[in-house]
Amino acid sequence: MGENRIQAYFEGKYVPLEEAKISILTHAFLYGTACFGGVRAYWNPEKGQLYGFRFEDHYRRLLNAAKLLRMNLKYSNEDLRNITIELLRKANYRENVYLRPVAYKSSQGIGVKLHGLEDDFTVAVIPFGKYIDNNALRVTVSGWRRPDDNMLPSRGKINGAYVNASLAKSDAVENGYDEAIFLTASGHVSEGSAENLFIVRKGQLITPPITDDVLEGITRDSLMVLARDLGIEVVERSIDRTELYFCDEMFLCGTAAQVSPVVEVDHRIIGDGKIGPVSEKLAQAFNDVLLGKNEKYMHWLTPIF
């Protein structure tokens, strides 16, 4: 930071972070009327290559959320990918990085609405190590509920909705846990504050359906594909809270969190309290894909250099 390195695409230009600033009257700042992505690119030192992961899918999700927010962006999915590739080339990091694309209501002024406003797109890149330090998480079921699809849809990453996520995460951390698990308004398990959730019971890998107010997670999707390849039975169905206490394994997953095993839920030990074999196998398989070590999934990667 402070090195004048190009780290953002903002208002149509590639600029250092210091030059990427919005007004305090920007609609997105006042009302949370923006949607964002969390995207990673991984450095493989043996190949001397930086691989972007599932850019097209990340931007498809972002463009869907933009549609929900009644945005008229002038960029196609391909445009967004090209901007991102160009930014990564200009930034020239030779290490793992995190990208934060945001589509936002860029008009300045007061007025609660979505229509008749200007929209813009920006993306920033930062070097990024681990999001969750601890590799054996202790979590709690949050008293905060996930808003349902008719309140504040969880399918897209809407900036304002992350106040809900933050309420749960801070309560969990300040009460001594690593993460919070949300229930839906009707009481089923939904997801973590910024991660999808899987459990293993009797050899089955189980995750809540998207209709239980979870984000259409790209890591979630990738892990389901990889699990099936490994011969693991994958089931999408609603999960009850007590199943979290009874399951053999549990993990959270996401672009930032990757595969983060959970060893304790509300003071109940999961399995034997250690990272389970299915979680371990999937984490390894996923890591190989990210680094371009699995030929079958090279189509998920965008080589940058």
Measured from the CB atom, the residue of 39 and 304 that comes closer to ligand PMP is 39
226 near ligand PMP (CB under 6 A): no
Q: How far is the CB of 215 from ligand PMP (least distance, A)?
A: 4
Stretch that binds ligand PMP, among 12-20, 70-78, 201-209, 212-220 (CB under 6 A): 212-220
**Angle ∠(111,116,117) on CA atoms, nearest 5:** 70
Task: Name the active-site residue from 105, 130, 157, 293.
Answer: 157
- 103 or 117: CB nearest ligand PMP: 103
Nearer to ligand PMP, 10 or 59 (CB): 59
Q: Check binding of 26 to ligand PMP (CB under 6 A).
A: no
- 101 makes contact with ligand PMP (CB under 6 A): no
> DSSP of 243-278, one letter per residue?
HHHH-SEEEEEETTTEEEEEEEETTEEPTTSS--HH
113 is catalytic: no
Asked if 261 touches ligand PMP (CB under 6 A), the answer is no
Please tell me whether residue 255 binds ligand PMP under the rule CB under 6 A: yes
Among 101, 217, 261, 292, binds ligand PMP (CB under 6 A): 217
Question: Of 26, 142, 196, 302, which one interacts with ligand PMP (CB under 6 A)?
Answer: 196
Q: Which is nearer to ligand PMP, 213 or 264 (CB)?
A: 213
The stretch among 68-76, 115-123, 210-218, 271-279 that binds ligand PMP (CB under 6 A) is 210-218
Check binding of 194 to ligand PMP (CB under 6 A): yes
Nearer to ligand PMP, 85 or 132 (CB): 132
- Binding residues for ligand PMP restricted to 150-169, rule: CB under 6 A: 157, 165
How far is residue 288's CA from residue 272's CA, in Å, rounded to a whole number? Answer: 27
Q: Let me know how long the chain is.
A: 305
Residues whose CB is less than 8 angstroms from the CB of residue 38 and which lie 6 or more positions away in sequence, other chains included: 98, 99, 100, 157, 194, 254, 255, 256
The torsion of the CA quartet 99, 105, 107, 111, rounded to 10 degrees, works out to: -140
CB 226 within 8 A of CB 282: yes
Q: Can you tell me the distance from the alpha carbon of 245 to that of 186, in angstroms, rounded to the nearest whole number? A: 19
Q: Which stretch binds ligand PMP (CB under 6 A): 45-53, 94-102, 200-208, 213-221?
A: 213-221
190 forms part of the interface with ligand PMP (CB under 6 A): no
95/14 Cα distance (integer angstroms): 20
Residue 297 Cα distances to 42, 292, 294, 300, angstroms? 14, 8, 6, 6
| Token output for 269 | 């030990």
Residues 6+ apart with CB under 8 A from 19: 8, 10
Residue 208 in contact with ligand PMP, rule: CB under 6 A: no
Residue 188 lies near ligand PMP (rule: CB under 6 A): no
- HSE-up of 57 (CA within 13 Å, CB side)? 17
Helix (H) / strand (E) containing 181 = strand 179-183
Among residues 71, 183, 215, 301, the one that binds ligand PMP under rule CB under 6 A: 215
Catalytic residues: 157
Residues that bind ligand PMP (CB under 6 A): 38, 157, 165, 191, 194-196, 215, 217-220, 254-255
